[in-house]
Amino acid sequence: MTQNYHQLSSDKVLTELNTTEQGLKNEEISSRLSKYGHNVLTEQKSSTLLQKFISQFKDLMIIILMIAAVIAFFAGDASDAIIIFLVVVLNAAFGVFQEAKAENAINALKEMTTPSSHVRRDGQIQTIKSSELVPGDIVLLEAGDIIPADLRFIKTNSLKVEEAALTGESVPVDKNDSPLEAEKLPLGDRHNLGYMNTNVTYGTAEGVVTATGMQTEVGHIANMLNTVDKSITPLQKSIIHLSKILSVLVLIIAALVFVIGIVADRASILDMLLTSISLAVAAIPEGLPAIVTITLALGTQAMAKRNALIRKLPAVETLGTTEIIASDKTGTLTQNKMTVEKIYQNDRLQDAHTSNFELQNRLAQIMILANDSQESDQGLVGDPTETALIQYYLDNKQPVNEVMQNFPRIMSLPFDSERKLMSVVVSHNEQQLVMTKGAVDELLKRTTKIEEDGQVRSLTDKDSKRILEINHSLAQQALRVLAFAYAPTQSIDASTNYDSTEIENNLIFVGMVGMIDPERPEAKAAVAEARSAGIRPLMITGDHKDTATAIAKRLQIIDENEVEGSVITGNELDHLSTEQLDANVEQYSVYARVAPEHKVRIVKAWQKKGKIVAMTGDGVNDAPALKTADIGVGMGITGTEVSKNASDIVLADDNFATIIVAVKEGRKVFANIQKAIQYLLSANLGEVLTLFFMTMLGWDIFAPAQILWINLVTDTFPAIALGVEKAEANMMQNKPRGNKSSFFGDGVMSSILYQGLLEGALTLGVYLVALTFPFHNTHALIHADALTMAFATLGLIQLFHAFNSKSIHGSIFRKDLFNNRMFNWSILLSGILLFATIFVSAFNDTFKVTPLAPQQWFVVLIGGLLMLVIVEIVKFFQRILLKK
């Protein structure tokens, strides 16, 4: 098969690829998919579960621990060696689980955001996943689409394609479907070819797929590079950096414990080596990056279920800091559907939902008959204003089709911009009627009578003045107003061409209708929630100033008394210098009649104020603003592929309320990571301090198995479960964190320090109580009991502290304490694994513990509960200080 498709005519290319303009037959698709594979760029193969498991043992500290365990085994300390091996293997298993969970979540996210293509197959236009394209497919393109595979254009209409990423051409290239003579041409000069991942910026086209996946030009480049993006988020980078710093500190403390233990002759060199290494392994939060990844990835899946598809993982953490949401009006804040809202008839202005729906009503008949809307499988098709008139009666379950059948159309006079009217002539009961709708002032010029309550009389100046006043009042509410009239007429011949003045005269006025694209029902509540969360919503629209202002008032983006100075038009923006806009941007809440290029100026002006900005967009020209914004929000329904590709988030339902849902989820993800960090670091600090002071005070110290087991069972399960905590009730009543926020801000760092110190102090306190009030008489049993009680206390404290960590400042004593089932089960499982070492006698020798009497368990319980009580008291005072 030739590869010089640019030299061939469109017909020859179709013949070469064994296809037609009608597209491939459905039965041909699967065989070609088997032959050519999916239309995706090959990524590096993901590692197997075994490879993931083996990779868990590459950590230097784990290797050192394993070597020490082997030495211990041959030195005769088999129990310690076995338990160390067991803990390391379990740790590795949990590491694989975490990695696989994060990978699966991210793969699921990729699947959700797979781009789609419009194709013609077997004569039918279909929308399919771009990954399912095969050579020979006929692809339909329009401005805003990303070309999904390499194509030979067979039809073009004013087509321009931006190919900078592939050819370096800085401006869009004109494309056509004419064959080229030269055999060898640079990619940029092949004007009848389109390349995968380039952007259609203007016009429309049809193209036949010539290559897919790794056989495309982009695929060749990907094959040469043979790399895959393994970038990590800024948050993950900061967590890894933090882990490295903590690792150094922990290693220093572990070295001190080892040296002091040897000098003070606390234990043998081998035992102290095992203890020090175990301390380092347990205290270094190596699982933190994995927990962060899982929390982020699960957050993206939760958002996807709520119609917010996260395309770029860093967007999740940025969402929680959002301070400005600049949203389009049409379709995002409004329903993108003209709707009848007011009806004026019989000298009465009524809300449409309370009006008379009877179709014997002359106004109803004109609304239905002077109308070119058509019904289709997708609903009504036609001018939005006309479909709104029909939909009004369909929504109120009126038999519209009966009216059309009872008043068959004879002829029509289409709307034109000069006379601003549209008329039809219909027949009914052997009578012909002209039915007209249009602009109020133009229709009144051709009206001589008025119908009120079924009675027709002459139209007076007072009537006209009243009608114009109502029209003006509705227009001020940003309603689009149409007037309706009718008149009996003489015999009209459908084959004759009539001038409009011959038909549209001596009309009888019957009423007016006010229509608007109404706000989404949930948008007002979403705006209110944004405001209560300290987020400022802005409206940006190409619509008229009056319409934008009216909708902004209804949504309370601006208050009734705020209109003056808070609304600016694109023309007014053009007359503002950058400095003037920067200085005054905070006063504007509504931007009307703006072009997409104005959006970049608006975003930058707010960013100069230090604000985190989310910006919505759906067009090709919106891409620069979407990239400039801190959070680019693309539209899944009306958005072009270019705008979606430039976005961090795509709204599957084009709904403003979904942005607020995503912000809430972003805040929740941040808060949950913060909780996991606080829990892990305070717990690890508690372990380090306990062991350090045990060594300094000359007390017996935890065995390596005890250290590793506490770390395994109390860190792994609760920390992961904290990552899926539900949002706290007051989360959207707090101000945004801002762009300088830190996971250690808001009192988290001080909480980690005091809570770690408290854990250590309580554990050492229980140890001291056990020594002071011994249950046995022999020295060995007294110290064995004391160490067992300290071991149990430290574990119990951490399980209780996990409940403390469910909220940074909030009290745990609330009705939703047990609302996270995963957390509840994790605490239960951790508790069983921890205390089985004491209650199951077979494990006592392995873990160097002794059975405890009820009185001793009571002391342990008091130590654990004190952690809850003291942290609750501190939180109580923190909440008082925060309110101040």
Record the tokens describing residue 237, joined without a space: 């980078």
* Category of 453 on φ-ψ map: left (φ > 0), alpha (ψ -120 to 50) or beta: left
**Residue 532 near residue 732 (C-beta atoms within 8 A):** yes
d(CA 76, CA 73): 5
Two tokens at 789? Answer: 């009680």
* Block residue for tokens 């920390």: 719
State how far the Cα of 641 lies from the Cα of 634, in Å rounded to an integer: 9
CA distances from 207 to 116, 142, 671 (A): 15, 11, 48
Measured CA to CA, the distance from residue 747 to residue 674 in angstroms comes to 11
Two structure tokens written together for 225: 């590079």
DSSP designation for 484: E
Q: Tell me, what DSSP letter sits at residue 361?
A: S
Longest Cα–Cα distance of the chain, Å, equals 123
Distance CA 479, CA 484 (A): 16
Clarify whether 395 is annotated catalytic: no
Pairing of strands 649-651, 480-489: unpaired
Burial class (CB in 10 A: 0-12, 13-18, 19+), 667: buried
* Close Cβ partners of 102 (under 8 Å, ≥ 6 residues apart): 290, 293, 294, 297
What secondary structure does DSSP assign to 519-582, as a single string?
A: BPTTHHHHHHHHHHTTPEEEEE-SS-HHHHHHHHHHHTSS-GGGHHHHEEEHHHHHTS-HHHHH
SS (H, E, C) 95-147: HHHHHHHHHHHHHHHHHHCCCEEEEEECCEEEEEEHHHCCCCCEEEEECCCEC
Rg, Å, the chain Cα set: 36
Long-range contacts of the stretch 838-841 (C-beta < 8 A, 24+): 838/788, 838/791, 838/792
Vertex 705: Cα angle to 701 and 708 (nearest 5)? 95
Tokens matching residue 654: 């084009």
Instruction: Please tell me which residue in 145, 271, 328, 543 is annotated as part of the active site.
Output: 328
Q: Say what the alpha-carbon torsion angle 14, 19, 21, 24 is, to the nearest 10 degrees.
A: -150
Residue 349, token pair as written in the block = 């202005």
Read off the amino acid at residue 11: D
Evaluate the CA torsion angle 256, 261, 262, 267 in order and state its sign: negative
Dump strand ranges (E) for 335-446: 339-345, 348-351, 374-376, 379-381, 409-413, 421-428, 431-438
DSSP β-ladder status, 116-121 and 138-142:
antiparallel
- CA 245, CA 459: separation in Å to the nearest integer? 87
Separation CA 471–CA 606 (nearest Å): 39
HSE (side-chain half, CA atoms, 13 Å) at 391: 17
Nearest alpha-carbon partner for 102 in 314, 296, 288, 317: 296
Q: Which residues are identified as catalytic?
A: 328
